[in-house]
């Protein structure tokens, strides 16, 4: 097995789709609709034949981008 350097402050955390939907506050159909149109949308990670997860860091980054865009629009 390989060795991976994982920062202690930011452990890798995976989220199942229902938790991602809850955090984003959107429906399942809206989630997949946006997946085809938004470039920085969190990408799925296949863990097995029937197990797909999402990186919590990617979900958080998308949410931070949404806040940054809102702040830029307010400043303009």
Looking at residue 8, its pLDDT comes to 58
User: How many domains are there within the chain?
Assistant: 1
Is residue 8 included in any domain, yes or no?
no
Q: Are 53 and 44 in contact (CB under 8 A)?
A: yes
Is residue 24 included in any domain, yes or no?
yes
Q: Rounded to an integer, what distance in angstroms lies between the CA atom of residue 6 and that of residue 10?
A: 7
Q: Rounded to an integer, what distance in angstroms lies between the CA atom of residue 37 and that of residue 51?
A: 24
Lookup: tokens for 5: 């350097």
Looking at residue 19, its pLDDT comes to 98
pLDDT at 75 over 50: yes
pLDDT mean across residues, the chain: 90
Is residue 1 included in any domain, yes or no?
no
Domain that holds residue 54: 14-75
Those residues with Cβ within 8 angstroms of residue 62's Cβ, 6 or more apart along the chain or in another chain = 24, 38, 40, 41, 42
């Amino acid at each position: 097995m390989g060795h991976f350097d994982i920062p202690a402050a930011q452990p890798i955390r995976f989220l199942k789709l229902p938790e991602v939907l809850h955090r984003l506050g959107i429906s399942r159909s809206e989630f997949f609709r946006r997946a085809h149109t938004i470039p920085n949308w969190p990408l799925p990670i296949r863990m097995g034949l029937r197990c797909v997860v999402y990186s919590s860091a990617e979900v958080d980054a998308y949410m931070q981008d949404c806040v940054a865009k809102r702040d830029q629009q307010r400043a303009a």
